[in-house]
Amino acid sequence: MDTSVKAALELVRRDAPQTRPSASSRIYDDLRQRILSLELPPGTNLLRAELAQHYEVSVTPLRDALQKLETDGLVRIYPQSRTLVTRIDEALVHEGHFLRRALETEVVRHLAERGAPETVERARSVIALQRSVRDEDGQLRLFQELDEHFHRTLFDGLGREALHDLIRSRAGHLDRVRRLQSHSPEKIRAILRGHDAIVDAIEARDVEAAMSAMRDHLFKSPDWVGEFRATHEDYFA
C-alpha cells in the first residue's frame, strides 16, 4: 500500500475511540459501508447464518447491528423470515440532503464568525490527503471516506459531533444515490475546489463567502435523482 494511502487511513481513524469497539459496532460499521457503497445493493437478502459466519460472531451482536441499520432505514427486518436491504426512497433522499445542507451551512457560518485556525489546519490536511489519493487506482472508496471526514472535521471544530452523527443516520438513502454518480477526474477536481473554497472563507472569516461556498458545494438540482432512477430503476422503491 502506498505511503499516502496509509497516512490517509491513519487520519480517518485518528479520532476513533481508543477503546475497542464492540462486535455489534464493528458489524454495523462494516455492513453500513457495504450497503452505502452498493456492494450490497437494494433488495439484497441478508442471510443471518452467512453473516454470522463471515463476521465470526454469535446471533446477538449481529441482531443488534441489524436493528441499528433498520433504525437508519437501510434494512428491513421481517421477523422469523428475512432481512432485506431497503430500496432507495426518493423522499428520504431529498430529506437527507435538505438536513445536510441546512446544518452544514450553519456550521461554517459559526466557524467563520469565530475564526477556527485549528479546524482550518485539520481540514487542509484532509484535502491534501484527498489530493494524494485521487489518482490512485482502486482508492475511490478511500477518497469518499476522506470526504466524509472533511465534513466531520467542521462539526468537530464546533464541538457538534452529535449533529454530524444525526446527518449520518438520516443520510443513508442520499449517500447511496451519491454513490451512483460518476466520479470523473473533473468531478473529483470540483469536489476539491469546493473544499478549498469553504476552508479559505473560514480562514478569512468571511461569513457570507463560507455559507455560499458550502451551499454551492452541496447544491443539487431539484430533479437530480431522476436520472439515477431511470438507469437503476430496480434500486428504487
Confidence of residue 203 (pLDDT cuts 50, 70, 90): very high
CB 78 within 8 A of CB 84: yes
Kindly report the CATH number that applies to the domain delimited by 90-235: 1.20.120.530
Residue 20 is predicted with a pLDDT of: 66
Residue type, 233: E
Q: What cell does 221 get?
A: 438540482
Confidence of residue 1 (pLDDT cuts 50, 70, 90): very low
Rounded distance between C-alpha atoms, residue 89 and residue 222, angstroms: 15
Q: Is the pLDDT of residue 144 over 90?
A: no
Q: Is the pLDDT of residue 77 over 90?
A: yes
CB 38 within 8 A of CB 179: yes
Q: Is the pLDDT of residue 3 over 90?
A: no
What's the CATH number of domain 16-85, 3.20.20.70, 1.10.10.10, 3.20.20.240, 3.90.230.10? 1.10.10.10
Alpha helices in the chain (DSSP H): 3-14, 23-36, 48-55, 59-71, 90-114, 117-133, 140-158, 161-170, 172-180, 185-204, 207-218, 224-231
Rounded distance between C-alpha atoms, residue 197 and residue 175, angstroms: 23
Q: Is the pLDDT of residue 133 over 90?
A: no
CB atoms within 10 A of CB 166: 15
Rounded distance between C-alpha atoms, residue 149 and residue 124, angstroms: 12
Rounded distance between C-alpha atoms, residue 32 and residue 165, angstroms: 14
Task: Kindly give, in sequence order, each residue whose CB lies less than 8 Å from that of residue 54, ignoring residues fewer than 6 positions away.
Answer: none
Confidence of residue 185 (pLDDT cuts 50, 70, 90): confident
CB 164 within 8 A of CB 152: yes
- For 150-176, what is each residue's pLDDT tens digit? 999 999 999 999 999 999 999 999 999
Determine which of 92-101, 120-129, 179-188 has the lowest per-residue pLDDT on average.
Answer: 179-188
Rounded distance between C-alpha atoms, residue 204 and residue 67, angstroms: 44
Query: What H or E segment, with its residue span, contains residue 83?
Result: strand 82-85
Domain ranges for the chain, please list them. Answer: 16-85, 90-235
CB 99 within 8 A of CB 170: yes
Residue 114 is predicted with a pLDDT of: 93
CB atoms within 10 A of CB 119: 21
Nearest to 197 by CA among 217, 183, 221, 219: 217
What is the mean pLDDT of the segment spanning 214-235?
A: 93
In the beta sheet, which residues pair with residue 236?
88
Q: What cell does 53 get?
A: 459466519
- For 6-48, what is each residue's pLDDT tens digit? 555 565 555 544 556 789 999 999 999 899 989 999 999 999 9
Residue 5 is predicted with a pLDDT of: 56
